Structure 1
Amino acid sequence: MPATRSRPVALRAAVTAAAVFVAGAAYMLAVPGALAAPLPGDIGPCAGLDCPDEYPDDNNNGGVIGYDDSVNVFVGGYFHVRGTAAESEGRNVVLGDFDQAKSGGGAAYNVGIAGVGSRVPPPDGSDYLAVGGDLSVASGQRLLAEEGSHSGVVRVAGTATGEVNPDAVTDAAAVDPYDGLRDDLSAASHCYAYPRDGVRRTTTGTVQNLGYETVFTGDGTSSLQVFAVDADLVSGTGGQQALRFAGIPAGATILVNLYGDARTLNVNSGPEVQYRSRLLWNFPDAAEVNLRGTTQFQGSVLAGEQSSTTEVTMSGTNGRMLLTGNLVHGSSSQGGSGQELHAYPFDGDLPECEDDNPSTVPVNSTDVPTTDDATTDGPTTEEPSTDGPTTDEPTTDGPTTGGTSEGPSTGTATSEPATLVTSGGPGGLAGTGARLALPLGVGAALAAVGAIVAFAASRRTAEE
Structure 2
Amino acid sequence: MRHGARPKNRMVRYAAVAALVAAPLVTVASIGQADQLAPPLGPCVGDCPNPFPIPPHNGPAAGTDNTINVFVGGSYTVEGRAAEVEGKVVTVKDLTVNKDGGGLFNMGVVGVGSQVAPPPGTDHVTVGGAVDVVTNNRVQIGGGDPARWGNLAYGTTESGTLEFSGPGAARQDPEAIEPYLGLGTVIKGDSTCMAEQTATGTLSVEGNLYTFTGDGHSMRQIFNVDRNIGSDTAAADIVFAGIPAGATVIVNMVGPDPVLIRTNTGSGFPGDQLTDMQPLLMWNFPAATSATISGGAQFQGSIMAGNSAGTLTVSTPGANGRVYVAGNLLQTGTAGTEIHAYPFNGDLPTCGQSPSPSPSPSPSESPSPSPSPSQSESPSPSPSETPEPTEEPTHGERPAPEPSRHKPTGPLAETGSGLVAPVAGAAAVLLGLGAVGVVLARRSRRRH
Normalised to the residue count of structure 2, the TM-score between the two structures is 0.73
Q: Which segment drifts farther, 163-172 or 118-127?
A: 163-172
Match of 1:180 among 176, 179, 182: 182
**1:373 deviation in Å?**
8.0
Distance 1:61 1:443, change over 3 A: closer
Equivalent residues of 1:202, 1:421 under 8 A apart: no
Equivalent residues of 1:115, 1:399 under 8 A apart: no
Q: Quick check: 1:390 aligned with 2:372?
A: no
- What is the CA deviation profile of residues 151-209 of structure 1, one whole-angstrom value per residue up to 9, with x for unaligned ones? 11111011111111234211011211112110111011111112xxxxxx211111112
SS in structure 2 at match of 1:174: helix
Q: Supply the AA of the counterpart residue of 1:374.
A: P
- What is the CA deviation profile of residues 427-462 of structure 1, one whole-angstrom value per residue up to 9, with x for unaligned ones? xxxxxxxxx9x967926999xxxxxxxxxxxxxxxx
SS in structure 2 at match of 1:130: strand
Match of 2:261 among 265, 269, 272: 265
Equivalent residues of 1:80, 1:99 under 8 A apart: yes
Q: What 5-or-longer segments of structure 2 have no aligned partner?
A: 1-26, 267-272, 368-372, 385-415, 422-429, 441-448
Equivalent residues of 1:114, 1:399 under 8 A apart: no
Q: Work out the CA distance in 2 between the residues paired with 1:292 and 1:379.
A: 25
- What is the CA deviation profile of residues 239-264 of structure 1, one whole-angstrom value per residue up to 9, with x for unaligned ones? 11211111111100001111033211
Q: Work out the CA distance in 2 between the residues paired with 1:222 and 1:391.
A: 35
Q: Quick check: 1:253 aligned with 2:248?
A: yes
Q: Supply the AA of the counterpart residue of 1:208.
A: S
Q: What 5-or-longer segments of structure 1 have no aligned partner?
A: 1-28, 195-200, 357-367, 401-419, 426-435, 447-464
Q: Which segment drifts farther, 158-167 or 70-79?
A: 158-167
Count of residues paired in the alignment: 357
Distance 1:131 1:42, change over 3 A: closer
Q: Supply the AA of the counterpart residue of 1:308.
A: G
Q: Work out the CA distance in 2 between the residues paired with 1:252 and 1:421.
A: 10
- In the other structure, the counterpart of 1:47 is 45
Which has the greater radius of gyration? Answer: 1
Equivalent residues of 2:202, 2:361 under 8 A apart: no
Equivalent residues of 2:321, 2:340 under 8 A apart: yes
Q: Quick check: 1:87 aligned with 2:84?
A: yes
- What is the CA deviation profile of residues 265-284 of structure 1, one whole-angstrom value per residue up to 9, with x for unaligned ones? 11111361111000111111
Distance 1:439 1:324, change over 3 A: farther
- In the other structure, the counterpart of 2:285 is 283
Distance 1:193 1:170, change over 3 A: same
SS in structure 2 at match of 1:189: helix
**1:211 deviation in Å?**
2.4
- In the other structure, the counterpart of 1:376 is 363
Give the superposed CA RMSD: 3.2
Match of 1:215 among 211, 215, 221: 211
Equivalent residues of 2:200, 2:218 under 8 A apart: yes
SS in structure 2 at match of 1:269: coil
1:119-198 → structure 2 map (5 Å cutoff): 119-147=115-143, 148-149=145-146, 150-166=148-164, 167-194=169-196
SS in structure 1 at match of 2:193: helix
Q: Quick check: 1:330 aligned with 2:332?
A: yes
- In the other structure, the counterpart of 1:113 is 109
Distance 1:353 1:439, change over 3 A: farther
Identity of counterpart residues, as a percentage? 37
Q: Work out the CA distance in 2 between the residues paired with 1:169 and 1:250.
A: 46
Q: Quick check: 1:203 aligned with 2:191?
A: no
Q: Work out the CA distance in 2 between the residues paired with 1:159 and 1:372.
A: 45
Q: Work out the CA distance in 1 between the residues paired with 2:96 and 2:136.
A: 14
Equivalent residues of 2:99, 2:383 under 8 A apart: no
- In the other structure, the counterpart of 1:422 is 418
Distance 1:135 1:250, change over 3 A: same
Q: Work out the CA distance in 2 between the residues paired with 1:355 and 1:74.
A: 28
